């Protein structure tokens, strides 16, 4: 029973900024802890702030970008890749605030007589519409944005592929181009997982449109990569299998080829020989990299050369007791290799769970846990049709069975973040789009 003095205790906030893969994992774990403990609920409110009311399931964006005609209305497509936060947090004591985070500042940073900075007792979160919110514990999970590395012409002449709106834009631009030109040339820059999967799915879309329109459209696809291989990260064999698959589909793969400028209809590239050449295109898609959320630039915390905040093994930002950071905006040096972890959903989710455990440990004055990254970061990349390549637990496999594995991974994720029936419905809707597309 709540006593008078309990009711008078000022409640503090635990805030999770960003409800993507990392933020949702952290918020759900914290929400479950609050639901279990009346004591904790007396002391803390849990708030999640995101500019969107939905968590975007990014692996579903390829199907949005290349959806078959009957699924092409944006609302139907949204139901296959956007998970409503209300549904994901239903039954948990979580307050969702839909607003844009503009900045985070320490509310108070005392200095001892010896000149040592004491970590702040609270953080102030500045919002676009909602003024300022204070939080005692903060989990930064704002993700990343597209990085064009300042290459001239990319923002003006290139499509990008990072969020739901981008996926719709890619779809309408590509179909419009195919309607206009039967032999369009589509250039995709960036041979990471996004570039490889998107290229494969565009080939798939072409096949579908050829049948649907009864027109002999024969676009050419070129995938350009500055590095010496596709799919950096897993062993080279994974990259070679993916490259062979794309080439068999008719895609030209150009490695060691760096985009240096993009203009109307042409991309200037630096080829292996060092000379600059031009590639004419009808559509140019940039998937060459990401950089941390711009909000991070305004927060005074240690960062690496790529602007990501450097976190300790317990996921606190170095020197900040109550400020945790997870996912794509962080640089976590793997203790086994001393290399930063890749920016993938599986790592953001695992970090979200550990950050939640550590927020609770901090509240309970217990030691914090370290995040132990997996030895092999799992990767499953579908490449056109019901075919995918995977690198999981140190094993490489490809083919239809891997495509099924990917569907199983989707279902597993939906079951993690949604009540079972809703997860199943979401899965069936997205799988239906997959099957119609592929």
Ligand X SMILES: Cc1cc2nc3c(=O)[nH]c(=O)nc-3n(C[C@H](O)[C@H](O)[C@H](O)COP(=O)(O)OP(=O)(O)OC[C@H]3O[C@@H](n4cnc5c(N)ncnc54)[C@H](O)[C@@H]3O)c2cc1C
The residues that touch ligand X, with contacts defined as CB under 6 A, are 18-23, 49-52, 58-59, 61, 100-101, 141-143, 161-162, 194, 293, 295, 327-328, 343-346, 348
Spatial contact of 328 and 348, defined as CB atoms under 8 Å apart: yes
**Closest among 338, 330, 344 to 302, alpha carbons compared:** 330
Report the residue number, 265 or 342, with the smaller CB distance to ligand X.
Answer: 342
- Please give the Cα distance from 99 to 48 (Å, whole number): 10
146's tokens: 């597209």
Minimum distance of ligand X from residue 304's CB (angstroms): 15
Minimum distance of ligand X from residue 209's CB (angstroms): 21
Report the residue number, 40 or 202, with the smaller CB distance to ligand X.
Answer: 202
The residue at minimum Cβ distance from ligand X is 20
Burial 28-50 (b: 16+ CB within 10 A, else e): bbbbebbeeeeebbebbebbbbb
Report the residue number, 329 or 423, with the smaller CB distance to ligand X.
Answer: 329
- Please give the Cα distance from 95 to 275 (Å, whole number): 56
- Please give the Cα distance from 92 to 39 (Å, whole number): 15
- Please give the Cα distance from 216 to 220 (Å, whole number): 13
Report the residue number, 140 or 249, with the smaller CB distance to ligand X.
Answer: 140
Minimum distance of ligand X from residue 219's CB (angstroms): 21
Minimum distance of ligand X from residue 352's CB (angstroms): 7
In angstroms, what CA-CA distances link 162 with 257, 262, 294, 304?
22, 19, 15, 22
**Closest among 191, 187, 196 to 159, alpha carbons compared:** 187
Contacts made by residues 397-406, CB under 8 angstroms, sequence distance 24+: 398/241, 398/245, 405/380, 406/59, 406/380, 406/382
Report the residue number, 141 or 262, with the smaller CB distance to ligand X.
Answer: 141
Minimum distance of ligand X from residue 166's CB (angstroms): 8
**Closest among 81, 17, 28 to 298, alpha carbons compared:** 17
Minimum distance of ligand X from residue 56's CB (angstroms): 6
Minimum distance of ligand X from residue 17's CB (angstroms): 7
Minimum distance of ligand X from residue 320's CB (angstroms): 18
Report the residue number, 255 or 392, with the smaller CB distance to ligand X.
Answer: 392
Report the residue number, 281 or 391, with the smaller CB distance to ligand X.
Answer: 391
Count of Cβ atoms closer than 10 Å to residue 182 Cβ = 12
Minimum distance of ligand X from residue 52's CB (angstroms): 4
Report the residue number, 18 or 200, with the smaller CB distance to ligand X.
Answer: 18
Instruction: To the nearest 10°, report the CA torsion of 345, 347, 350, 352.
Output: -70
Report the residue number, 37 or 132, with the smaller CB distance to ligand X.
Answer: 132
- Please give the Cα distance from 5 to 120 (Å, whole number): 26
120's tokens: 């702040």
Spatial contact of 383 and 200, defined as CB atoms under 8 Å apart: yes
Q: What size, in residues, is the chain?
A: 438
| Helix, strand, coil distribution of the chain in percent, nearest 5 | 40, 25, 35
Report the residue number, 100 or 314, with the smaller CB distance to ligand X.
Answer: 100
Minimum distance of ligand X from residue 265's CB (angstroms): 25
Minimum distance of ligand X from residue 343's CB (angstroms): 5
Report the residue number, 153 or 195, with the smaller CB distance to ligand X.
Answer: 195
């Amino acid at each position: 029973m709540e006593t008078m003095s309990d009711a008078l205790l000022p409640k503090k906030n635990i805030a999770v900024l960003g409800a993507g893969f990392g933020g949702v994992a952290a918020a759900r774990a914290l929400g479950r802890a609050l639901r279990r403990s009346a004591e904790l609920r007396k002391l803390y409110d849990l708030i999640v702030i995101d500019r969107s009311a939905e968590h975007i399931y990014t692996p579903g964006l390829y199907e949005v970008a290349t959806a078959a005609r009957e699924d092409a209305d944006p609302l139907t497509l949204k139901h296959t890749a956007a998970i409503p936060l209300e549904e994901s947090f239903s039954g948990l004591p979580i307050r969702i605030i839909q607003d844009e985070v503009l900045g985070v500042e320490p509310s108070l940073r005392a200095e001892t007589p010896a000149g040592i900075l004491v970590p702040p007792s609270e953080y102030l979160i500045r919002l676009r519409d909602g003024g300022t919110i204070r939080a005692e514990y903060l989990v930064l999970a704002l993700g990343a944005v597209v990085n064009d590395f300042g290459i001239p012409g990319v923002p003006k002449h290139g499509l990008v592929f990072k969020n739901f709106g981008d996926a719709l834009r890619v779809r309408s631009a590509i179909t419009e181009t195919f309607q206009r030109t039967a032999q369009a040339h589509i250039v995709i820059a960036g041979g990471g997982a996004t570039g490889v999967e998107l290229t494969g799915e565009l080939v798939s879309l072409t096949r579908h449109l050829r049948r649907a329109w009864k027109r002999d459209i024969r676009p050419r696809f070129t995938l350009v990569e500055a590095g010496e291989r596709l799919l950096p990260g897993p062993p080279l064999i994974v990259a070679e299998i993916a490259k062979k698959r794309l080439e068999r589909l008719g895609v030209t793969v150009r490695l060691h080829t760096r985009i240096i400028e993009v203009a109307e209809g042409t991309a200037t590239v630096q080829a292996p020989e060092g000379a600059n050449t031009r590639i004419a295109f009808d559509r140019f898609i940039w998937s060459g990299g990401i950089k941390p959320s711009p909000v991070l630039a305004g927060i005074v915390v240690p960062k690496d050369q790529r602007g990501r905040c450097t976190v300790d093994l317990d996921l606190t930002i170095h020197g900040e007791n109550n400020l945790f950071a997870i996912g794509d905006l962080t640089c976590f040096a793997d203790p086994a290799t001393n290399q930063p972890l890749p920016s993938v959903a599986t790592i953001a989710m695992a970090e979200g769970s550990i950050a939640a455990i550590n927020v609770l440990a901090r509240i309970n004055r217990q030691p914090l846990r370290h995040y132990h990254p997996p030895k092999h970061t799992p990767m499953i990349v579908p490449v056109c049709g019901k075919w995918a390549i995977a690198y999981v637990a140190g094993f490489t496999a490809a083919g239809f069975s891997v495509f099924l594995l990917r569907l199983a991974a989707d279902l597993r994720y939906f079951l993690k973040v949604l009540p079972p029936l809703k997860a199943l419905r979401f899965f069936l809707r997205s799988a239906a789009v997959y099957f119609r597309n592929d």
